[in-house]
Amino acid sequence: MGFRNIIGRRLGLGLVRRRKPFSTATCDGDGNGNAKSINLYSAINQALHIALETDNRAFVFGEDVSFGGVFRCTTGLADRFGKARVFNTPLCEQGIVGFGIGLAAMGNRAIAEIQFADYIYPAFDQIVNEAAKFRYRSGNQFNCGGLTIRAPYGAVGHGGHYHSQSPEAFFCHVPGIKVVIPRSPRQAKGLLLSCIRDPNPVVFFEPKWLYRLAVEEVPEHDYMLPLSEAEVIRQGSDITLVGWGAQLSVMEQACNEAEKDGISCELIDLKTLLPWDKETVEASVRKTGRVLISHEAPVTGGFGAEISASIVERCFLRLEAPVARVCGLDTPFPLVFEPFYMPTKNKILDAIKATVNY
């Protein structure tokens, strides 16, 4: 059941749902009520509409968001909620995030858009040094929990060096913020609403490849999905695969192929990378004894390294094979070489077999 290009099918089978003390979500993502088949950018658009509707101190701003944004995620917002709440900023990422932190510090919900994750670096200082540490260094007097930063990330086939990057690992190294990455339209709407309402600053990366490609039935009502809860989206017994975002569909294809060779794969969507759900992954690894992590970002220092180290710490004696990482290569994201750089289905399949046959 690939979830790219699916129409009229529901995901969410095999959900492992456990309530966590710090999760703020109500789980109603099973499509009760009316559900319509829409794509990722429409789901995000719906979430933003609901966020602005339900909280009149919510703002959406960023470069070109007023007319709908370069990916159409913000269509209709300016018309519906007015220019005072949905507005364009000049071309200054550092300014956008800094401004958002200030807005949030006054108790508003600031939903900032960074046009491409590749451009988030001028704002890196603001996110790491200001947003992440505000509550901590003021002894809880102030916080910018109302801040949510949305950015499209990931390869798109022809993006080249500066329209394809996956910078999630940089942000996972910063206690004080949360990093969330959805895999599909229904997940995106629920997760984004949770992020916006979460009382901590959140960086929400949207897989741009899936903006149009991923189509799913998404309930029209207001619902939230829990943060820091990973989801087992495919049950298996031989090997655990961990991933997030657009990469999951590639991994799923590899799982399907592996199944033909009799390898039963368990696939986990991490959903929230920081703080990540170690328990779910650990429980799965205790079942299978093998784990493979896959992400588009370069392998060295990627988030897969953190997962690998944690799992080895916790499950060393249970592991039957070394932790495998199938990731982007250690080069800048290339232009013409993109097909070689990417962690493709065959690379993953290869690694699955090697790990299982270790």
Partner 1 sequence: MALSHLAASASRSSSLLKPLSSGLSLRRSISGDNSPLTVETSVPFTSHQCEAPSRSVETNPKELLTFFRDMALMRRMEIAADSLYKAKLIRGFCHLYDGQEAVAVGMEAAITKKDCIITAYRDHCTFVSRGGTLLEVFAELMGRQAGCSKGKGGSMHFYKKDSNFYGGHGIVGAQVPLGCGLAFAQKYSKDETVTFALYGDGAANQGQLFEALNISALWDLPAILVCENNHYGMGTAEWRAAKSPAYYKRGDYVPGLKVDGMDALAVKQACKFAKEHALKNGPIILEMDTYRYHGHSMSDPGSTYRTRDEISGVRQERDPIERIRKLILSHDLATEKELKDVEKEVRKEVDDAIAQAKESPMPEPSELFTNVYAKGLGVESFGADRKEVRATLP
**Residue 173 bears catalytic tag:** no
Question: Out of 49, 163, 231, 295, which one is annotated catalytic?
Answer: 163
Beta bridge partners of 180: 204, 272
Provide the 10 A C-beta neighbour count for residue 267.
Answer: 23
If you search the block for the tokens 């309930």, which residue do you land on? 219
Give the residue with the Cβ less far from partner 1, 187 or 308: 308
Residue 5 CB-density burial (10 A; 0-12 exposed, 13-18 middle, 19+ buried): exposed
Give the residue with the Cβ less far from partner 1, 1 or 309: 309
CB of 265 to partner 1, least distance (A): 16
CB of 200 to partner 1, least distance (A): 26
If you search the block for the tokens 């071309």, which residue do you land on? 91
CB of 350 to partner 1, least distance (A): 4
| Beta-carbon contacts of residue 144 (< 8 Å; ≥ 6 apart) | 100, 101, 104, 105, 110, 130, 131, 134, 135, 201
Give the residue with the Cβ less far from partner 1, 33 or 332: 332
Q: List residues near partner 1 by CB under 8 A.
A: 63-64, 67, 88, 90-92, 94-95, 118-119, 121-122, 158-163, 324-326, 329-332, 334-337, 340-341, 346-348, 350-351, 354-355
3-class state of residue 334 by DSSP: coil
Give the residue with the Cβ less far from partner 1, 217 or 296: 296
CB of 89 to partner 1, least distance (A): 8
Question: Out of 93, 206, 217, 296, which one is annotated catalytic?
Answer: 93
Q: Which residues of 93-121 are buried (b: 16+ CB within 10 A; e: fewer)?
A: beebbbbbbebbbeebbbbbbbbbbbbbe
Give the residue with the Cβ less far from partner 1, 14 or 332: 332
**Residue 93 bears catalytic tag:** yes
CB of 245 to partner 1, least distance (A): 20
| Beta-carbon contacts of residue 296 (< 8 Å; ≥ 6 apart) | 154, 155, 166, 245, 246, 247, 327, 328, 342, 343
Active site residue ranges = 93, 163
